[in-house]
Amino acid sequence: MNGERWRFTVLGPPRVWRGGRELETGSPQQRALLAAVLLRRGRGTTVEDLVAALWEADPPARAVGAVRTYASRLRQVLERDRGRPEVLVSAGTGYALRVPDAEVDAFVFEERIAAGERARSAGDPVGARRLLLEAEGLWGGTPLAGLPGPYAERQRLRLADLRFRAVRTRLGLDLDLGRHAETVGELTLLAHEHPWDEAVHGLLMLALHRSGRQAEAVDVFTRTRRLLADELGVTPGPELCDLHGRILAADPALLPARAAGRGVEAVVSGGQPMVGGGTGGGLPDGVADFTGRRALVVRLRASLASAGRGPAGGRAPVVVAVTGPGGVGKTALAVHVAHGVGGCFPDGRLYADLGGTGRRPAEPGVVLRGFLAALGVPDAAIPEGTAEREALYRSRLADRGVLVVLDDARDLTQIRPLLPAGTGCAVLVTARGKLSELPVEGRFDLEGFEGGEALELLGRVAGAERVAAEPGAALEVVRFCGGLPLAVRIVGARLAARPDASIGAMASALSDERGRLAELSAGDLAVEEAFRRGYDLLDDDHARAFRLLAPPEARPVSREVAAALLGTDVHRAEDLAEGLVDLGMLDAPAPGLYRHHELLRLFARGLAERTDGRAGLRAASARALDVLLAPRHDVLGALRLGTRRLRSADGAAVP
């Protein structure tokens, strides 16, 4: 191939590059012919086989001539000298493509998967997982997108099935390596896309069980059994039934084994310890398609890396807080940052999902038990009382360099016992509330993505080519999502699961405000559910304020209008609004002004209609309208009074 560097991609729209320059390979039929020859891996393909590949049982009258024409045109693009072809060469009555396997993404994809399987069989789960992730990274969308013909369709299905099985294997390795909590979301989407695959449902059940979410694991089995019975008239297989029984019996063998290693690594989820060892076994994996936040990532890592550089004799660790509403990406950011500073903490990392927005947040004493176990304290030596566990925990970390990640904290009471001692440690906290009383090195209030970042995330999940093909519709979609990363990710996942769906159709569905939140769900992921977890934590007064401070149109509400909407005085209304701001349920763009995130506003309006009723909303709106119109009435009154005084001064009759 003349020593030039070529690149052929078929894991997405078929494309060809030579020496870094993309080549135009012609019409869909012509590109389908190129793919049919390419995927034979250099073996000759007869003209008859190519006719069948493009048209199967219904070829046109001059199909052979069309194949010859397509091949001739491709040679014009691929060959330096058409008279002496070196790339698309003749082979018997047909053609062959002389391309090294390393220059075709599909061949590299298959090679990585095969190598991953070999590594897994050889007892190297870490290496196997890395190879399978490399294979996934080659995926660029629907294979052979836009190509006609039965051969392209068969290859499309084959490659998609190969990818699905590789992803399923990799997720199984994730569970073997102790990465339970971070796999739940991905497994949920995979189970939604493959409802008949019992192996995927089994992995999801195991991930939920190991994450301390046994009830949800059992619910997955119940829903799967019902689906199989209703749709196929069959029952779950023996492996899934056995797993269900072991989860119900709380079989300790289902929990991950502790591995050996020098640096401590532990995950505590829902208050239940799930401990691993070594330098990579505990902290959840970062999101593979983590997007944006570049400047913020740098600042966060710099703040955490400052641990150990404090004044001599200092005893306080570095504490950094990331706060923001549900779905804004706090956990993804925290885990991404934590992975990037691992080298600054030679003694390891501890991670706890505190479940602060759940109905049963993790108790500090239970989390401390998990941390102490990870630090090598035998079960029999762990004290019973929380205060005693706290003292032992701090003494164990006093002279060590450990990063502690406390995810989804509810309040300072939950956090305080989990703070280590000594300047060599650092703590990264995420929470919806502001945690204003927590002494921190840095406090970062996370907001939704800007348009460019949101589009980038949509492209990474749904496919960059699809976003580029419908840029206007894609911009509308992220606008309707309000830049909320969870919403954008859900839309991207739905589009990825429907390769033939248009982004324009999705934008049209999201344009209806009343149905928008219902559209923003995929499997067990839902924007509305993320919002509800925060709403359920509010007391009655703050819940009512949250509902009524959401006007029909997206605009800020002043403290005076807030007082009218709530039917109270300005000071009480301001206290309630500021409380919602502190809890991450309301924004304050300027002093005395309040507004909801756009999707939170829709959520609040829906709650208000159901809870306060139309009569209550009309009364609140009438009070607010009186406040808004009051300045106009004052002006009109002043004008009328001025007119009367002028007439009186002129000696005219005063009405």
- In the predicted model, what is the mean pLDDT of the chain? 83
One fold for 1-177 and 538-635:
yes
Q: Are 345 and 426 in contact (CB under 8 A)?
A: yes
Q: Give the right CATH number for 264-442 from 3.40.50.300, 1.10.260.40, 3.40.50.620, 1.10.3720.10.
A: 3.40.50.300
What one-character-per-residue DSSP string does 64-107 give?
Answer: HHHHHHHHHHHHHHH-S-TTS-SSEEEETTEEEE---GGGBHHH
Take residue 483 and report the two structure tokens written for it: 């830049």
- What pLDDT score was predicted for residue 479? 92
Which helix or strand (DSSP H or E) is residue 323 part of? strand 318-323
pLDDT band at 154 (very low <50, low <70, confident <90, very high): very high
Average pLDDT over residues 98-123: 89
Residues 6+ away with beta carbon under 8 Å from 127: 116, 119
Least confident of 45-54, 101-110, 120-129, 468-477: 120-129
Average pLDDT over residues 620-640: 62
Residues 6+ away with beta carbon under 8 Å from 571: none
Q: Give the number of other Cβ atoms within 10 Å of residue 619's Cβ.
A: 14
- What pLDDT score was predicted for residue 308? 57
> SS3 letters for 306-374?
CCCCCCCCCCCCEEEEEECCCCCCHHHHHHHHHHHCHHHCCCEEEEEECCCCCCCCCCHHHHHHHHHHH
DSSP three-state, residue 383: coil
Instruction: Find, among 248, 216, 526, the residue nearest to 359 by Cα.
Output: 216
- What pLDDT score was predicted for residue 262? 38
Q: Would you kindly state where each structural domain of the chain is located, as residue ranges?
A: 1-177, 264-442, 451-529, 538-635
Average pLDDT over residues 250-270: 58
* 128: pLDDT strictly greater than 80: yes
Q: Give the number of other Cβ atoms within 10 Å of residue 133's Cβ.
A: 18
CATH architecture assignment, domain 1-177: Orthogonal Bundle (1.10)
- What pLDDT score was predicted for residue 264? 62
Q: Please tell me the number of Cα atoms within 13 Å of 388 on its side-chain side.
A: 5
Average pLDDT over residues 414-419: 93
Which helix or strand (DSSP H or E) is residue 191 part of? helix 184-193
**Cα gap 134→357, rounded to integer Å:** 35
- What pLDDT score was predicted for residue 267? 62
pLDDT band at 638 (very low <50, low <70, confident <90, very high): very low
**Cα gap 106→144, rounded to integer Å:** 10
Average pLDDT over residues 178-201: 87
* 634: pLDDT strictly greater than 60: no
Least confident of 96-100, 368-372, 375-379: 375-379
CA R_g for the chain: 31
DSSP three-state, residue 266: strand
- What pLDDT score was predicted for residue 478? 92
* 649: pLDDT strictly greater than 60: no
pLDDT band at 312 (very low <50, low <70, confident <90, very high): very low
- What pLDDT score was predicted for residue 311? 42
Which residue's structure tokens are 């927005």? 357
Q: Are 12 and 143 in contact (CB under 8 A)?
A: yes
pLDDT band at 509 (very low <50, low <70, confident <90, very high): very high
* 476: pLDDT strictly greater than 90: yes
Average pLDDT over residues 138-157: 88
Least confident of 63-67, 163-167, 302-306: 302-306
- What pLDDT score was predicted for residue 240? 92
> Alpha-carbon dihedral of residues 43, 44, 47, 50, nearest 10 degrees?
10
- What pLDDT score was predicted for residue 307? 74
Q: Are 171 and 181 in contact (CB under 8 A)?
A: no
**What is the end-to-end Cα distance of the chain in Å, rounded?**
101
pLDDT band at 474 (very low <50, low <70, confident <90, very high): very high
Q: Are 304 and 403 in contact (CB under 8 A)?
A: yes
| Selected residue with higher pLDDT from 505 and 640 | 505
Quick one: 269 exposed, middle or buried, by C-beta within 10 A (0-12, 13-18, 19+)? buried
- What pLDDT score was predicted for residue 272? 47
Least confident of 76-85, 611-620, 643-652: 643-652
Average pLDDT over residues 244-269: 65
Residues 6+ away with beta carbon under 8 Å from 460: 289, 291, 492
> Alpha-carbon dihedral of residues 287, 291, 297, 301, nearest 10 degrees?
20
DSSP three-state, residue 319: strand
Q: Are 406 and 416 in contact (CB under 8 A)?
A: no
| Selected residue with higher pLDDT from 369 and 524 | 369
Beta strands 15-18 and 21-23: pairing type?
antiparallel
Average pLDDT over residues 485-506: 89
| Selected residue with higher pLDDT from 230 and 441 | 230
Which residue's structure tokens are 């002494």? 439
* 554: pLDDT strictly greater than 90: no
Q: Are 29 and 148 in contact (CB under 8 A)?
A: yes
- What pLDDT score was predicted for residue 310? 46
Q: Give the right CATH number for 538-635 from 1.10.3470, 1.10.10, 1.10.287, 1.10.30.
A: 1.10.10
